[in-house]
Structure 1
Amino acid sequence: MALDLTQAADMFTQSISSTVKTVTGSDVRLIAGFSQTQLQALAQQSALVAGMIEVNAFTAAERMFYLDGLDQMARGFVNTFVQIVEVEIEKIYNAVVKAIYDSIGTLAGVKLAVPGAP
Structure 2
Amino acid sequence: MRKQESFFSGGSDKFFETIKEKLYEILGGKICSNCGFKDERALGISPISENVTSDNSGRGGDVASWGKYISAPDLAREELRVFCLNCNQIREPVPKKTREGSRPKSKKSKYFPR
Alignment TM-score, normalising by the size of structure 2:
0.24
Q: Point out the structure with the larger helix share.
A: 1
Q: Which has the higher contact order (CA 8 A, sep 6+)?
A: 1
Larger radius of gyration: 1
Query: Which has the larger strand fraction?
Result: 2
